[in-house]
Structure 1
Amino acid sequence: MSVAIPNGMKEVSKEQFFEALYADKRDIMPNVSESENYSVWQTWDRIVWGYSYPGWKYPMAEKAYFIKK
């Protein structure tokens, strides 16, 4: 299975994803209520920062990370 790149995002490694997350000083948290297949990472005011796969329902599925271009 291959994960499609969400619009406006670029695929990065797990290390790049978390490095960028920790470098961003905003309060960014995963939102798992949108889908069981992926997590949307967003600021408290719901600005989408990135996506991570898989979601909570499929923890053993292929992993992929995306951040805004």
Structure 2
Amino acid sequence: MFNAPQCPKTCSPSTTMAIIATEGFDVPEGMEQLARRGAKACPERIILVEEDDGTISWPPGAAA
């Protein structure tokens, strides 16, 4: 499961950056490696990778 902190669902017209709020989602079977790569590509490190056992594998040092 991937989790992101709660964010406002607003986007300023003066920016090209969108903000997405989610409680997390399950990654389809077979897409886990691609999802991990996507999380690691996030420069802000706000995408957490929660493994099936509940541990957080990304970013390093994150707590569940």
Q: Give the greater-gyration-radius structure (CA).
A: 2
Q: TM-score, normalised by structure 1?
A: 0.30
Tell me the TM-score normalized by structure 2: 0.31
Which structure shows the higher strand fraction?
1
